[in-house]
Structure 1
């Protein structure tokens, strides 16, 4: 799920944040929110999906093909039936590469082949669906990979903290962590208030959902708190795909 950041990782991520490759002026007339799950662990669907739906929303599941049907580091990942069920329920399937590698260290030709493999994997299960959003594995981005993936997908999400408002960097959307290792109720409430004040798009991210999550996951209470906070603020919860359409229509 995660990896230690080296100094080089931090340097290339810093450079990517300062290199916009896909600007768009937000056309939002009111704030929106998106809930996203990376990888994705099965509990993100079996435990997280019902919570999102209870608050009237739909989520985005960033899917890496290699995780299908496996258990790794104590985490059970999704299977093909989970993918079919969440797609039928109106949630979005996004791309997270197939092999879930540290992309700044992979050649562009290999990344392009990997992206095609992941798309073919998803379509082999769901039929002709478009993967219209992408999340960088581990949140690691370099200027080269930011440019590459922004050409493949309408929008890409990183893990740099913040609200998307005004000029949107669709090559590396800002995001807000719901991971238990970073979470505080006050910080989420402040960022939701900022999204409302700025007519912004707040994109949350996490991984597994359980009472004893991995450091990169959330408890049900954390997810419920985020959803309750946005809905009480009058903010609609949309998959990344649908929020993007609204922000750029």
Structure 2
């Protein structure tokens, strides 16, 4: 989905897009302008204006600002940028971001790549560019922006949720993007280890026993006391709410944490790998 294209099967986004499109059409008609006249006034073609009003395209922020000025809406149209900001991202990204926002604790094990909340923009770009079939340039920038936006949740000024990350050592040694990209990524991990509400552990490659061979997963403990799991593989993103399945993931995560190095030992291991890079 590009910045302009509407994802028609996304009901949540559809409701927002319908409201914005209806308001834009009402403002235009109230001004006595045809679609062609309005398009010429704001610097866009008649076809695009029509597509926006028929909900086939999502208006970009600059489109709304131009419409606001041309129709003398005094900020009422520009204010709709906030409503559209979230629905520009794919639904599975929005859903995950909502879950993370409701969590009091987030636990994650990764054995393929560095967790998305910990990635630098360069590292994220390399991973997304490797996808097949490839993303268009607009889709790529949208996905990167979405991933970086999710990282707002992990900062010094926001002590909640509490984070527990376990990274398989393979993710530290896999040279995605080359040495400089990996150096900056490892430096980012060391920065995160200094946050008081974050525990970052490394699961060593040299272990003879490894409870994380079945793949990456997450656990989110929510405000209401419940815990949900999250699995993502290939193009499938699945939230797990069945208590028995969640219990299995909790048990597995406990074993993985026990097998991993302590947070202090993990920082030393990251520094060691950084020195070798």
Q: Which has the higher strand share?
A: 1
Q: Answer whether TM exceeds 0.5 for this pair.
A: no
TM-score, normalising length from structure 1?
A: 0.30
TM-score, normalising length from structure 2?
A: 0.28
